Amino acid sequence: MTSSSSHRRSRTQLVVLPGDGIGPEIAAATVQVLALVDREFSLGLELETRTVGLAALAREGTTFPPGILEACRAADGVILGPVSHLDYPPRAAGGINVSAELRIALDLYANVRPSRSRPGLPSYGRTPLDLVIVRENTEGFYADRNMHAGSGEFMPTPDLALAVRKVSAQASERIARAAFGLAAHRRKHVTAVHKVNVLTVSEALFLREVRAVAADNPEIVYDEQLVDAMAALLVRDAARFDVLVTTNMFGDILSDEAAELAGSLGLAAAINAGDTHGIAQAQHGSAPDIAGRDRANPTALILSVAMLLQWIARTGNRDELARGAATIDAAIESVLADAATRTADLGGPLGTRAFADAVCAAIARQLA
């Protein structure tokens, strides 16, 4: 292999989609941190920023302009800021949910959402927690992603609304494999969360596939919980859980609960991943009420990008990306541990830009 071909192989292309509301602010803070780690670890990052969402709608008549999907498909990873899709016009008028569109088009079937208690920050459950919710991302009750054509919600009459839930063996099996693969590198415990006592057909199919994967992984402890019991256990005894695997809507709700119990939704990182593509996307929304005021907490998106670097490192055998991700995680941990370097939502004095500066300073101290 020549040195020039080795150089080409070491480049990592990331597409940045800042999104709506606070998205551009927290994306800028995230890129600032990422640029420092790139320089320090020679990661070879190449960032391309594209406009989506309401800004794109005003400029191009669509929230998801032509070329965005192709750019994301060609990249090694994507950084997506929060989007205000509830404020978008109908799809026919250009209002395309950017997040859902990418999840479907890139087959991002695993939404991975970690939550853990952090030193110095209040944890609102009865026990500390350190768990990951692995949420099936492509079907379930989500009407914008469970049909080949049309919507999974419809109204036969003005006074009757119906919703179709989709659960397939293929999607259930692959999300189970993602969960067990993750658990193998953690505490080797998977809990399937379900509602089979009421949804006796679709949930039974989901559990059938998860149990089959469990049988293939006897070294990993496997158990099951009803979703309503799980909601209570996150408050009462979260410490007993490691990796939770569940269907789309249950995972969406439980992960927000876990994030708040761990301290704040502003800390809630996430990655949407498939076999060949990954997107860093914080769990929280676009918070238009504080947009442009330097008040947003960028922690969740910064940590989501660290998760993305870890994902690329695993899929592309890039150890330097994993080291960069670990450095970001450690810097965030040290900054959050000090009340003087937290953002206002966590009781601190810092704005978005100052928090990014504090994280960069913490990285510099680590590497000094």
Give whole-number Cα distances, 365 to 40, 103, 305, 327, 347, in Å: 12, 37, 20, 11, 24
**Would you call 159 helix, strand, or coil by DSSP?**
coil
* Encoded tokens for 77: 């990873």
Report which secondary-structure segment, H or E, holds 48: strand 45-49
Instruction: List pLDDT tens digits, range 53-84.
Output: 999 999 999 999 999 999 999 999 999 999 99
pLDDT at 3: 33
With a cut of 90, say whether residue 143 has pLDDT above it.
no
For 123-138+166-262, the fitting CATH number among 1.10.357, 3.40.50, 3.30.43, 3.40.1010 is 3.40.1010
Provide the annotated active-site residues.
142, 195, 228, 252, 256
Model confidence, pTM: 0.92
CATH superfamily of 1-109+270-368: Isopropylmalate Dehydrogenase (3.40.718.10)
**pLDDT value of position 304:** 98
Rounded percentage of the chain residues whose pLDDT exceeds 70? 98
CA proximity to 108, closest of 74, 137, 140: 137
Predicted pLDDT at 5: 35
pLDDT score of 1 more than 50 = no
Compute the distance between CA of residue 343 and CA of residue 333 in angstroms, rounded to an integer. Answer: 14
Give the pLDDT score at 174: 98
Q: What is the pLDDT of residue 2?
A: 31
Query: What percentage of the chain carries pLDDT values higher than 90?
Result: 88
User: CB neighbours (10 Å) of residue 60?
Assistant: 14
**pLDDT tens-place string over residues 323-349:** 999 999 999 999 999 999 999 999 999
Confidence of residue 120 (pLDDT cuts 50, 70, 90): confident
Numbered ranges of CATH 3.40.718.10 in the chain: 1-109+270-368
